[in-house]
Amino acid sequence: MNPGAVETRSDAFEAYLARQEARGFRVETRSGLQAVIVRRHPLHFALRWVAEDRAKERLVVSVDQHGEVVALRAQPVRW
């Protein structure tokens, strides 16, 4: 893979994360081209008792070799 392709992937990934942060998401964990981002529902404290699966939105975000960003729903954190 050429250095320009890696840079393009990284730039696409950074731009996507910046847009999601503007929408209220925060980065929970991150590696070079993959991250888990989380956004709390405005009624998080009430929902976590009655509808825990809707209290937080967690997404696994990755970027492929063509610079396409993919976000999939992540499993809830299990302690």
Burial label for 22, CB within 10 Å (0-12, 13-18, 19+), is exposed
Whole-model pTM: value is 0.75
Q: Across residues 13-38, what is the average pLDDT?
A: 92
Residue extents of the structural domains in the chain: 3-73
Whether 68 shows a pLDDT value over 90: the answer reads: yes
Whether 70 shows a pLDDT value over 70: the answer reads: yes
Mean predicted lDDT score pLDDT of the chain: 79
Q: Across residues 39-45, what is the average pLDDT?
A: 60
H runs (alpha helix) in 1-79: 3-22, 44-50, 52-55
Residue 48, φ and ψ in degrees, nearest 5 = -65, -20
Q: Which two tokens stand for residue 19?
A: 């847009």
pLDDT given at position 30: 94
Which of the four pLDDT bands, split at 50, 70 and 90, describes residue 55?
very low
